[in-house]
Each structure stands twice: as C-alpha cells, then as structure tokens.
Structure 1
Amino acid sequence: MLLKLFLCFTLIPILELYLLIKLGTVIGGFNTILLVILTGFAGAWLARMQGMVTMLKVRMNLQQGIMPAEDLMDGLIILIAGLVLITPGLITDVAGLLLLWPVTRNRFKRFLRKKFDELQAGGNINITRYP
C-alpha cells in the first residue's frame, strides 16, 4: 500500500509537469496556465451543480423513507471528483471531469460496488454486523 501511495504522489505530479511543459511549448505558457485555470473553474462549477442535485435527491429519498445508497455513492464520487479537479494539472482535470460525467460515474460506481462485494464475500470486512 505504501508503494502505491508513493507512486501516486510522485508519478502523477511528474506526468502532470511533463504534460504541462510539453503543452506550454506548443500553445504557450500563458495559454497553458489559462487552460488549467479554466478547467479548474469549470470543473468546480460542475461539481457544485452535480453535488447540489445529488443532495436534493438524498433529501427527497430520506423524506420518503428510502435509503439513498446510490445517491450517497454518487455524492462520494462527486466529492472525489471535486478534490481531483482542484489539483492543478490536465490529467487530474480529465479524471475529475470523467468522474462528474454521469456515464463514466455510473461505470465507476459499478466498479466500486463490485470491489465492495468482493471484499465482503472474501471475509475481509463485514458490513452486516456491528461490533
């Protein structure tokens, strides 16, 4: 786990810097910085809108006595997308925007659900009982 975290916190910034430098040589430094700022603002606005819609769905489901598990999962993914979007860089912006787009968010949600089910079936965690 430590190795994975180390690779994430070193390789991703290195790739981001490399991409920003390459892009800066093609479109110019000012335009590259402007692009990063614009994608950050657009992503933050989109994350806010998606988060508000999800919170309204959660509130409506709770008022009707329905457990909003899917909407809570959407909220978690939107939060992760927002955190990724405030990280400067184009790779992280693309990842955050993909998490905000409902089509790819649903695929990611299915992937997470499958991983949770595998963990539960493997005996590593038990969600049904409390200690």
Structure 2
Amino acid sequence: MFRIWFFILIIAVPAAEIGVLLWSGKQIGVPLTVLLIILTGILGTYLARSQGMKIINQARQQLNYGQMPGDAVLDGVCILIGGTMLLSPGFLSDVFGILLLLPLTRKFFKRWLALAIKRWINKGNVKIIR
C-alpha cells in the first residue's frame, strides 16, 4: 500500500501538475499562468498565517483552561499542509491547499486525519508515551 501512495506522490502528482500548467499556459497564456501561480502563493501565505494564528490562540486558550488542544492540533496540521500546498507551484496543489485552509472544508480532512491516527494507534504503528 505504501508503494502505491509513494508512486502517486512522487510520480503521478507532479506529472498531473505539469500537464495542467502546460494546458493553462496554452489556454490563457504563459504570463497569466505565472501570475496566477505567484498570486496563489501570496494567498497561501496570507491564509496560512491568519488561520494559523487563530488556531494557535485557540490552542493557548484550551491549554489555559486545562484542556487538551486535540482539535486545534488537527487544525494546525491541516493548515501546515494546506499552506505548503499553496506555496508549491501548480493548480491542483492550490485547490487542495485552499480546501485544507478553509474552515468549512477543513472539517472533512480533520475527521479523516483523526480516523487515520486512531487506526495507526490501534494497529500499534504509533506509540503514545506518557
């Protein structure tokens, strides 16, 4: 299973990104395509910073009240990945990055991430040290 995901991440995703960039350059022109890539990078930086600061403050509040900031940690992971995706050149990664940064769509990914972590813990792949 790891090999399939590794293949997709290393070979298929960049190939798809290149294909979309070439198609975009042909449809709207190279200068506009480059401008859109730069603008999504700027948008990604802004969204990741604003959402990240909001989540950091939420985690601080939860810690001050003696609560574990589990939900805030999942939000932080999604924001980190989403911001990174928006900074990388390509439109497919930009769409995925925006979905991870927007609070409405991030809920889906947080549920999936929480389930994946629970499965890893139950399988013994992750050890919790107290």
Is TM more than 0.5 here? yes
1:94-118 deviations in Å (ceiling 9; x for gaps): 1000000112211111111122223
Could you tell me the percent identity over the aligned residues?
40
Note the C-alpha offset of 1:122: 3.8
Aligned runs of 1:45-84 on 2, under 5 Å?
45-84=46-85
RMSD, aligned α-carbons: 1.7
Distance 2:76 2:39 in 1: 23
What are the ranges of 5 or more consecutive residues in structure 2 without an aligned counterpart? none
1:36-56 deviations in Å (ceiling 9; x for gaps): 111111111011100000001
> Secondary structure of 1:56's partner?
helix
Which portions of structure 1, spanning 4 or more consecutive aligned residues, are displaced by more than 6 angstroms?
A: none
Note the C-alpha offset of 1:3: 4.3
Aligned runs of 1:1-16 on 2, under 5 Å?
1-16=2-17
For residue 81 of structure 1, what is the amino acid of its counterpart? Answer: G
Distance 1:2 1:62 in 2: 39
Note the C-alpha offset of 1:123: 4.4
What is the count of residue pairs matched by the alignment?
129
